[in-house]
């Protein structure tokens, strides 16, 4: 049950961070939001590692942390670029399904098939991600399938990479992951000469996004260390549900029939997985 709870915490914090990041990206450059959030996450992760008295990450963990940071950074950039320049109705669901399915398939392959009820819950959760991620989009232009595939594979690979971190190590590895992501985003800004400067008044909100994202990563790592990767991955992948609910509450965005069905299925999936895992 700890895996279930931690997986849901990851979904809540990641979804909240995406909501905040989306709001900020309407006012300041997206790359600036991502860069500042990574720097803040790195500092907090280092501080928490010291407070907890964590030992240095194992040498074998470092390559996985760097791989996870690169995968996460590529996934975020590809996703945001796809949502901004292509069809959201194509980019969002493809990314969401791949990001959920890849760690689940890997988890089943290395850890074995979970109980029948958990398998049902996983299937229902993937359907929920598809429905909640769908957006009305009649815009002409590029579909964004390529960017969605890159984003989904990169984010899914991120989930696999950080699941390899040794038990007992959480915030130290997170600091390495955040540093790798920040370095990647900084390189994109410098090489592409992208805009990234923002007014100081936006920095606290950007720091908040970094805290939420870092909390989601920590919850996911702990979830994987306490149970099956397939369960942790599929529950944490329900983060779009959190984003949609927050948008309906604070932005008065209309919850479509597709979203409502997806939210209901997410609840059913959680019950099935929790019951099957207990």
Contacts of 180 (CB under 8 A, 6+ apart): 65, 66, 68, 69, 70, 73
Q: What is the pLDDT of residues 17-37, one digit of tens each?
A: 888 887 887 788 888 888 998
| pLDDT at site 251 | 81
- 199-238: burial string, b at 16+ Cβ within 10 Å, e else: eeeeeebbbbbbbbbbbbbbbbbbbbbbbbbbbbbbbbbb
Q: Which residue has the tokens 């815009």?
A: 139
Instruction: Provide mean pLDDT across the span 181-185.
Output: 91
d(CA 185, CA 100): 23
> What confidence category does residue 134 fall into, taking pLDDT thresholds of 50, 70 and 90?
confident
Q: What is the pLDDT of residues 38-93, one digit of tens each?
A: 899 999 999 999 998 888 888 999 999 999 999 998 988 888 778 767 776 677 78
Q: Look at residues 154, 30, 14, 37 and name the one whose alpha carbon lies nearest to residue 83.
A: 30
Inform me whether the pLDDT recorded for 197 exceeds 90. Answer: no
CB of 274 within 8 A of CB of 122?
Answer: no
């Amino acid at each position: 049950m700890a895996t279930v709870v931690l997986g849901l915490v990851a979904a809540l914090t990641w979804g909240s961070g995406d909501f905040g990041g989306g709001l900020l990206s309407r006012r300041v450059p997206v790359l600036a939001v991502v860069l500042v959030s990574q720097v803040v996450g790195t500092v907090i992760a280092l501080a928490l590692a010291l407070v907890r008295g964590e030992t240095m990450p194992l040498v074998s963990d470092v390559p996985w942390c760097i791989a996870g940071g690169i995968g996460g950074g590529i996934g975020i950039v590809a996703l945001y670029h796809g949502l901004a320049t292509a069809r959201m109705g194509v980019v969002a669901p493809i990314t969401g399904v791949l990001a959920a399915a890849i760690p689940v398939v890997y988890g089943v392959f290395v850890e074995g098939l979970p109980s029948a009820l958990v398998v049902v819950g996983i299937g229902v959760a993937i359907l929920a991600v598809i429905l909640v991620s769908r957006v009305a989009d009649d815009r002409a232009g590029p579909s964004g399938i390529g960017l969605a595939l890159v984003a989904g594979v990169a984010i899914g690979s991120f989930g696999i990479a950080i699941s390899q971190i040794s038990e007992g190590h959480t915030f130290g590895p997170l600091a390495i992951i955040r540093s790798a992501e920040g370095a990647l985003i900084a390189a994109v800004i410098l090489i592409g000469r992208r805009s990234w400067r923002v007014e100081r008044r936006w920095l606290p909100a950007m720091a908040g996004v970094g805290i939420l994202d870092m909390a989601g990563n920590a919850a996911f790592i702990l979830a994987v260390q306490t149970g099956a990767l397939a369960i942790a991955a599929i529950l944490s992948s329900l983060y779009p549900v959190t984003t949609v609910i927050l948008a309906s509450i604070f932005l008065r965005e209309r919850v479509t029939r597709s979203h409502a069905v997806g939210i209901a299925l997410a609840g059913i999936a959680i019950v099935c997985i929790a019951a099957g895992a207990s």
